[in-house]
Amino acid sequence: MDCKSCNSATCTAKNRQPEESAEEFAARQRLTRRMCGIKHKILVLSGKGGVGKSTVAVNVAASLAQQGFTVGLLDVDVHGPSIPTMLHLTGAGVTQSEEGIEPVMAGPNLKVISVAFFLEHPEQAVIWRGPMKMAVIKQFLGEVNWGELDYLIIDSPPGTGDEPLSVCQLIDDMEGCIMVTTPQEVASADVRRSITFCNQLAVPVLGVIENMSGFRCPKCGEVVNIFSAGGGKKLAEEMKVPFLGTIPIEPEIAGSGDNGKPYVYAFAASPTAQLFENIVAPLIAVSDQE
């Protein structure tokens, strides 16, 4: 795949911009070429931390991989990368090949890149300002040998800061964002702000997921609503975006995150794994409409 053999009339990577150095132009073309090999790029967002955004990102990616798609999972949470722990990849390092930085494999068709793979030790604090974060994300998109992917799932830090902004600015054809919230957070201005952020950047909102929605009793399997239910759906209706579904609190979800085996792999036959599959189904349906 290279820009010379591509006959897209609209691609902005064809021509060098007046303010661009030859090196910058080459890097931009490399990034565009890499992104051309990825069919669907999806960003996972949340208004606040601790609502299960990374858990959802991991399980959505794993569920797609389980269904036979080739998937990349990019963790751009530079200050709190948790994806390696959730996939039992702590301490993994990346290698460099002629094709670029090689992602770490978390199964036959799940490729992973996280800031954590580049840190000398896990407790290292990352102190980067906006432009530095943008530069690192640019490298993750342009210099990593993602190859041909069906999906790239991107886990960003909570809120609408530099990382999600950089992702949306660097990827021209974002499929859209998934918004993760909890019943307690659903009424907060942060969730609405995340949706407004997408609207302002003209990135489609693929839908809202209400995580930690009730508690599934390990004894009888029934979901008990600890907090008021239905807020995510109501919010989605109000903001005129799709509602993708709910995931209850389940001790095994937390356990899977700590043990490094995605819940949808470890408990593939459970009702909650089915809920994850139902959440992913419309994303595949949207993709298939193209």
- In the complex, which residues of this chain contact ligand ADP (CB under 6 A)? 46, 49-55, 82, 211-212, 247, 249-250, 253-254, 257
CB closer to ligand ADP out of 142 and 248: 248
Nearer of residues 61 and 249 to ligand ADP, judged by Cβ: 249
Can you spell out the DSSP letters for 191-205?
A: HHHHHHHHHHTT--E
Q: Considering the complex, state which of residue 35 and residue 223 has its C-beta at the smaller distance from ligand ADP.
A: 223
For residue 219, the minimal CB distance to ligand ADP (Å) is: 16
53, 45 in Cβ contact below 8 A? yes
CA angle 150, 172, 45 (to 5 degrees): 70
Q: Which amino acid is at 217?
A: C
The residue behind tokens 């041909």 is 148
Give me the least distance between CB of 112 and ligand ADP, in Å please: 15
Measured in degrees and rounded to the nearest 5, phi and psi for residue 184 equal: -75, -30
In whole angstroms, the minimum distance from the beta carbon of 138 to ligand ADP comes to 23
* C-beta closer to ligand ADP: residue 177 or 249: 249
Whether the Cβ atoms of residue 247 and residue 253 lie closer than 8 Å to each other: yes
DSSP label at 4? G
- The smaller minimum CB distance to ligand ADP, of residues 37 and 50, is found at 50
Q: In the complex with ligand ADP, which residue's Cβ is closer, 143 or 190? A: 190
Residue 216 pairs with which residues in a beta bridge?
A: 223
Residue 218 CB, nearest approach to ligand ADP (Å): 12
**CB of residue 254 to ligand ADP, shortest distance in Å:** 4
Burial profile 52-76: b = 16 or more Cβ within 10 angstroms, e = fewer: bbbbbbbbbbbbbbbeebbbbbbbb
Q: Residue 269 CB, nearest distance to ligand ADP (Å)?
A: 17
Which residue bears the tokens 């995510």?
Answer: 232
Per DSSP, 261 falls in state S
Give dist(CA 168, CA 254) in Å, integer.
30
Q: Which is nearer to ligand ADP, 35 or 249 (CB)?
A: 249
To the nearest whole angstrom, how small is the minimum distance from the Cβ of residue 234 to ligand ADP?
20
Hey, what are 250's tokens? Answer: 């389940």
